Structure 1
Amino acid sequence: MSMQPVAAEEPTPSIRAEPAVVRFWERLGLPGIIDVHTHFMPDRVLKKVWAYFDAAGPLTGMAWPITYRHEEDERVALLREFGVRHFTSMVYPHKAGMAQWLNGWAADFAARTPECLHTATLFPEEGVEAYVREAVERGARVFKSHIQVGAYDANDTLLDPAWGLLAEAAIPVVTHCGSGPAPGKHTGPEPIGRLLARHPRLRLVVAHMGMPEYTDFLDLAERYDEVRLDTTMAFTDFSERFTPFPAGERGRLADLGDRILLGTDFPNIPYAYGHQLEALERLGLGDDWLRAVCYRNAARLFGL
């Protein structure tokens, strides 16, 4: 996938009230929304992530202003104001030796943040099965696998026992495995297809709808009943500029409406939170589809 850099933009000012978000879920008769793809991580790690976006790093290659560049307590407060009833702390390592430490931080964050679904992560390294088991025993409800940033093969033999453990425990794994915004050595549908062939019961949630390989990941969702997709950044004006969702696949979004979950990438998004909801609404797939995607599917998956 090739991407043309866009002109630099001024950082978006602090946004507090977004009444359109509340109006969205109130109109649908929902108690709020559930966002399965939000990032909370240790402050020094998050600051490094923001610095990477600020520098238009090679995995982004474009100006990417962080809309919600706030302290942790304010970011939590914002989600509460938006009516996000449950969210995640998508932590992920970029090298060996980080995952267990991140899991400890994420467990503490979940303990002090009732709305957060206890999140954990993993990396292909010695001891991964042990610390994944420890996280599960501590109550982890969702895992994050960032194949693009971690630059690892999902089929690394070191990971195989961990995948089996997570499949057996029926714990969802939100996985950045598509090749957007820039391809990696191990991204794309082919490695994930091989993983699912060995672990067909793995509750894999394909982040970003698998962009830009939307069609291939929809194929995998049709083939494997436990595969889901999250909407993170998909369909937005920002993403449609360089990885437009194929118009001909819109019908399959409706057909798989029970396995698509709201995700946003908050706080690391270059637009207001409500734009993700607006982008979903303008797909024209109906209110029942929106109710499922923005609340009911996640509530069922996590037993909320």
Structure 2
Amino acid sequence: MRLVCPDDPMPGATPTPFSPAEAEAVRRLWEPLGLPGLIDIHTHFMPRSVLDKVWAYFDSAGPLLGREWPITYRAEEQTRVDGLSAFGVRAFTSMLYAHKPDMAAWLNTWAAEFAALQPRCLHTSTFYPEPSAPQYTRKALEDGARIFKVHIQVGDFSPDDPQLDDVWGIVEDSGLPVIIHCGSGPAPGRFTGPAPVENVLKRFPRLRLIVAHMGTFEYLEFLDLAERYENVGLDTTMSFTDFSEQGAPYPREALPRVKALADKVFWGSDYPNIPYPYAHGIESLIRLDLGDDWLRRVLHDNAAELFDLD
């Protein structure tokens, strides 16, 4: 008879977060693809004071959520970093974002220090429409930023705000990607949706944008933008999971288009703020049945090329 330890759940059970059994369950999903690991471009690390407020908002099922949203990977910072390592994540981000003036520069300082301490972190920065934005965006580039994040819904600003004109120009010239949460999910904002984003792209057509969450709820419209603009991509964050499919099912007739955009789709998890195990996000991509080549590109190769990772 085989003994079962606490970290070795019975068949069908969900492994405990941060357990060896959970790490093994994640690795079993990507190792058969022959990959050296995962690259997760949508993970959240931020100052603890900010993260505590984010978690409190999730715990309260705030109005932008509209439903219960338990956080699976609530833990101290290093435990969360080690968890990604155990999953086989080669590189990850520290997605942070400003929701008011005079916040972004401080967040960028924290992010630079975090990236210096965590060599697998792709140094992440942010910006907000304010007079100082061009200055601290240039400084972020000088400090080694490799990716930016903006959250239109939480920040409650339009991406085509005139105060961001210089910033978009700076970022476009840098060639660095911006992950932009601009879809109307999980709840519409005043400036969410594809129209403001397309206004920016018309003026900055070389801008490298990655639309978070596959553009939930405007899936088809953001697919259109990814097809029309060479440097526009999509991240899979929470998309196709049981949790998201309940309220915002991805149109299955669009999956051939998603497959055709294999080199523009990136793995993102939303770790640690996800209401299900990390493995489920990957399983949700596998069950789309878009092929191993598509999975290899999404889970690793696209980001490895974008960030020039060996």
TM-score normalized by the length of structure 2? 0.93
Q: Among 75, 83, 86, which residue is 1:81 paired with?
A: 86
**Matched residue of 1:241: which SS?**
helix
Preserved contact between residue 230 and residue 262 of structure 1 (Cα < 8 Å): yes
Aligned to 1:210: 215
Preserved contact between residue 13 and residue 67 of structure 1 (Cα < 8 Å): no
**Matched residue of 1:300: which SS?**
helix
Aligned to 2:155: 150
| CA deviation profile, 1:124-143 (whole Å, cap 9, x unmatched) | 01110000000001110000
Preserved contact between residue 210 and residue 234 of structure 2 (Cα < 8 Å): yes
- 1:177 matched to 2:177? The reply is no
Preserved contact between residue 189 and residue 216 of structure 1 (Cα < 8 Å): yes
**Matched residue of 1:34: which SS?**
strand
Q: Among 64, 67, 72, which residue is 1:59 paired with?
A: 64
Give 1:191-270 correspondences, 5 Å limit: 191-270=196-275
Q: Among 40, 49, 55, which residue is 1:50 paired with?
A: 55
Q: Which letter does structure 2 place at the counterpart of 1:208?
A: H
**Matched residue of 1:285: which SS?**
coil
**Matched residue of 2:49: which SS?**
helix
Identity rate, percent: 59
| CA deviation profile, 1:139-193 (whole Å, cap 9, x unmatched) | 1000001001000000111101000110100010000000000000000001111
Aligned to 1:5: none
User: In the aligned structure 2, how far is the partner of 1:81 from the partner of 1:50?
Assistant: 23
- 1:40 matched to 2:78? The reply is no
User: In the aligned structure 2, how far is the partner of 1:79 from the partner of 1:246?
Assistant: 30
The 1:13–1:47 alpha-carbon spacing in structure 2 relative to 1, beyond 3 Å, is farther
Q: Which letter does structure 2 place at the counterpart of 1:16?
A: S
Aligned to 1:104: 109
Moved more, 157-166 or 14-23: 14-23
User: In the aligned structure 1, how far is the partner of 2:28 from the partner of 2:16?
Assistant: 22
Give 1:23-34 correspondences, 5 Å limit: 23-34=28-39
Aligned to 1:9: none
User: In the aligned structure 1, how far is the partner of 2:300 from the partner of 2:18?
Assistant: 23
Question: Which of the pair has more CA radius of gyration?
Answer: 2
User: In the aligned structure 2, how far is the partner of 1:261 from the partner of 1:98?
Assistant: 28
| Residue 15 of structure 1: how far off its partner (Å) | 3.7
| CA deviation profile, 1:52-82 (whole Å, cap 9, x unmatched) | 0000111101100000000000000000000
| CA deviation profile, 1:94-137 (whole Å, cap 9, x unmatched) | 11110000000000000000100000000001110000000001
Q: Among 16, 21, 30, which residue is 2:19 paired with?
A: 16
**Matched residue of 1:228: which SS?**
strand
User: In the aligned structure 2, how far is the partner of 1:183 from the partner of 1:20?
Assistant: 35
Preserved contact between residue 17 and residue 277 of structure 2 (Cα < 8 Å): no
User: In the aligned structure 1, how far is the partner of 2:132 from the partner of 2:294?
Assistant: 41
Q: Which letter does structure 2 place at the counterpart of 1:188?
A: G
Q: Which letter does structure 2 place at the counterpart of 1:153?
A: S
Q: Which letter does structure 2 place at the counterpart of 1:160?
A: D
Aligned to 1:297: 302
Q: Which letter does structure 1 place at the counterpart of 2:169?
A: G
User: In the aligned structure 2, how far is the partner of 1:65 from the partner of 1:26?
Assistant: 29
| Residue 23 of structure 1: how far off its partner (Å) | 1.2
> Structure 1: where are the runs of 5+ without partners?
1-11
Q: Which letter does structure 2 place at the counterpart of 1:186?
A: F
Preserved contact between residue 236 and residue 276 of structure 1 (Cα < 8 Å): yes
The 1:184–1:241 alpha-carbon spacing in structure 2 relative to 1, beyond 3 Å, is same
Q: Among 271, 280, 283, which residue is 1:275 paired with?
A: 280
Give the superposed CA RMSD: 0.9
| Residue 13 of structure 1: how far off its partner (Å) | 6.1
User: In the aligned structure 2, how far is the partner of 1:299 from the partner of 1:259?
Assistant: 12
